[in-house]
Structure 1
Amino acid sequence: MLRWLNLILLILFPVAWFAPLMRAGLLPLFGLSEISVVSGLQSLWETDVFLALVVTVFALFAPILKTLGLALIQFHWLDARALPMVTLLGKLAMADIFLIAVYITLAKGLGVGRIETAWGLYLFTFCILGSLALGIAEARRHR
């Protein structure tokens, strides 16, 4: 059962990357623009390459590599001794959720514009937390 739940994450992560994380606008009178992980990364690559690289690692590479690594362990194509490294990748992916939450909190606190969270943020958070839970369950299974 764990392996199938993990494989579902391979589908859900790309959906979460393109789903709207938040809607942001400068003034309340105008419409809000939807921001996804991918659209945010596109903007970051144009303005701050270092931050774009960090977010790309946390938001894209860490979660998908963790999910793939866990799948390889579950299907016995990778030794279970790799599980601590796979678990570390899951923790790195959680850092991205923290960064997004900090940015939303800062933007709301400044009161310059308007930000609303969207369903993609919840999906992305669910995927990260689900991946962490599956990693913990897999580690317990191997003990």
Structure 2
Amino acid sequence: MWIKYANLTLLVLFPIAWFAPLMRAGLLPLFGLNEISVMSGLQSLWGTDVILALLVTVFALFAPYLKTIGLALIHFRMASPRLLPALGWLGKLAMADIFLIAIYVVVVKGVGLARIEVAWGLYLFSACILASLVLSILTPIKRGG
């Protein structure tokens, strides 16, 4: 069953996406751009806003990874398929992080004082979240036995 191996691939791809550049940002077009990843953003947040850092940690790290592990346990029959609805909620939390990033990009670009370029890590992170959602939808629910 290809679904379980595709899901296991996400266990490798998620950490890569966390360290990959989500965007490059800088003040005004005159200055150089700094790369921002999930991890570098979290490091900055922990120093300034602990509550927001906790939320982002849950949305960006724990929710997608726990969902992937839970789905793997179901695929390898180490957990009940009845766990799928709870994993769906974890997937929704992970999607919230992508929407927040998109909103920040739109707001900062609209202000015009900063320059933001979306980087490949945002596409990788988004693809991982979407792949996880698709894999959970495609996971068959076996009743009885």
TM-score bucket of the superposed structures, by smaller chain: over 0.9
| Deviation (angstroms), 1:29 | 1.6
Could you say which residue in structure 2 is the equivalent of 1:70? 71
Distance in 1, Cα, partners of 2:118 & 2:48: 23
Runs of 5+ consecutive residues of structure 1 not aligned to the other structure? none
| Deviation (angstroms), 1:27 | 2.0
Could you say which residue in structure 2 is the equivalent of 1:125? 126
Could you say which residue in structure 1 is the equivalent of 2:83? 82
Count how many residue pairs are aligned between Structure 1 and Structure 2: 141
Could you say which residue in structure 2 is the equivalent of 1:104? 105
Q: Percent identity?
A: 68
Indicate whether 1:142 and 2:141 are aligned.
yes
Distance in 2, Cα, partners of 1:142 & 1:70: 11
Could you say which residue in structure 2 is the equivalent of 1:9? 10
Could you say which residue in structure 1 is the equivalent of 2:48? 47
User: Could you tell me which amino acid in structure 2 is paired with residue 142 of structure 1?
Assistant: I
CA RMSD between the two structures: 0.7
SS of the residue corresponding to residue 87 of structure 2 reads helix
Distance in 2, Cα, partners of 1:43 & 1:103: 16
Q: Structure 1 length as normaliser, TM-score?
A: 0.97
SS of the residue corresponding to residue 24 of structure 2 reads strand
Indicate whether 1:19 and 2:20 are aligned.
yes
Q: Structure 2 length as normaliser, TM-score?
A: 0.95
Runs of 5+ consecutive residues of structure 2 not aligned to the other structure? none
SS of the residue corresponding to residue 142 of structure 1 reads coil
Could you say which residue in structure 2 is the equivalent of 1:91? 92
Q: Which moved more, 1:27-36 or 1:53-62?
A: 27-36
